[in-house]
Amino acid sequence: MVSSKLLCVLASAAATSAFDPQLGFNSYVEVENRTIDEIYQAALKEGGTVTMWHGGDEKDQQNSLKEAFEKKFPGMTLNITVDLSKYHDINIDRQIATGDVYVDSVALQTLHDYPRWKSQGALLPYKPLGWESIYKDFRDADGYYNGFYVFNWANVWNTNYVTDGPKEFDDYLRPEFKNKLVLTYPNDDDAVLFAFDLIMKQQGYEWFEKLLAQKPRWVRGTGTPSTLVASSNGSYVASFTTSIGLTPSSPFNLSFPSTSGNFVSWPQTGAILKDAPHPEGAKLLHSFVLTEEYQTATGGWPVRSDIDPPSGYPSIWEMPGTDVTKFSQFMADRAAVERLRFFFEDRIGSAQGLSPLEDNI
């Protein structure tokens, strides 16, 4: 149980701003001018360790980042913990409030946290290598945070059981999908909540009632639907609350709305905590994430304007059916988010089951 004393400390921290109206924020911070090898050597001298908390819902989701980073920089260790961003952020708040910061770097879906942490003076301004090429809408002008990579949801199906995959959201209402859909609780994940908000604003409430008549299976975590679609032997064959990258491999195929509908995309955003125990290691990690090598390896849309998206796709700004800036606006209005969350909780119940990080499905 959180003590009343700690709650008071958290409230006090939330009310404190590091912004000086005379001086502004640290907009004078220069773009990193060392080579990546020079940053690497500084990180080794610091101890060769980086601790990162990353948003997600499966423990191994960022194993590829850990492996790529440690392979690129021998002697470095990336300790990475994946959990739902909404849980990471409250624990980061506790570290900040108690002055016991032990995490170096964060990369979260909770985009509304970053301006708040910036105003509290809790972030270290840093403009990593590649800064000038990051799309301006994906970076804080003062260098306190920036996008790492673009995440999105897509229409996903198992080609072993579905020949005519869903292209538009009305397609999920087809008779062959009854009892065959697996969807993430919208009241458990804000990016899924936003997806339902977009769909219902276009399709109307009646669409949601018809979707409920399809009797989808509701699950926790956005990795769970793709896992079940791939492994349930046809019990569940399609979802629109998950992602498998832009270049699917067997048994998956994917699509995005082409004639109607909107899908969710956003820049998963990273920052370094001001009191990070390993700031040089964190700077190395942030500069590495922005390299062409790693931006290309993610298989998604890059956050840099000078790196091409995967073959067959336009830039995220030219992609039909999405506005990559809208999710941050949605997240900033916490009262509206909570009202919408309670609407879905009333209709489908609270999220049931263990966290996907604890559940083996």
pLDDT band at 16 (very low <50, low <70, confident <90, very high): very low
111 shares its domain with 253: no
Q: What is the CATH number of the domain that holds 158?
A: 3.40.190.10
Least confident of 3-17, 23-37, 46-60, 146-160: 3-17
Decide if 356 is inside a domain: no
Tell me the per-residue pLDDT of 259-316, one tens digit each, with 9 for 90 and over.
777 999 999 999 999 999 999 999 999 999 999 999 999 999 999 999 999 999 999 9
Residues 6+ apart with CB under 8 A from 204: none
pLDDT band at 135 (very low <50, low <70, confident <90, very high): very high
123 shares its domain with 144: yes
Decide if 209 is inside a domain: yes
Residues 6+ apart with CB under 8 A from 257: 155, 167, 168, 169, 263, 320, 321
54 shares its domain with 188: no
In angstroms, the CA 276 to CA 43 distance is 13
169 shares its domain with 271: no
Q: Check if the beta carbon of residue 18 is closer than 8 Å to that of residue 120.
A: yes
pTM (two decimals): 0.90
113 shares its domain with 228: no
Total of domains in the chain: 2
Supply φ then ψ for residue 105, to 5 degrees: -130, 145
23 shares its domain with 142: yes
Paired with 349 in beta bridges are none
Domain that holds residue 140: 19-151+267-312
162 shares its domain with 147: no
Q: How many CB atoms lie within 10 A of CB 322?
A: 23
Decide if 319 is inside a domain: no
In angstroms, the CA 64 to CA 70 distance is 10
Least confident of 7-21, 65-79, 116-130, 204-218: 7-21
Judge whether residue 148 has pLDDT over 90.
yes
Decide if 104 is inside a domain: yes
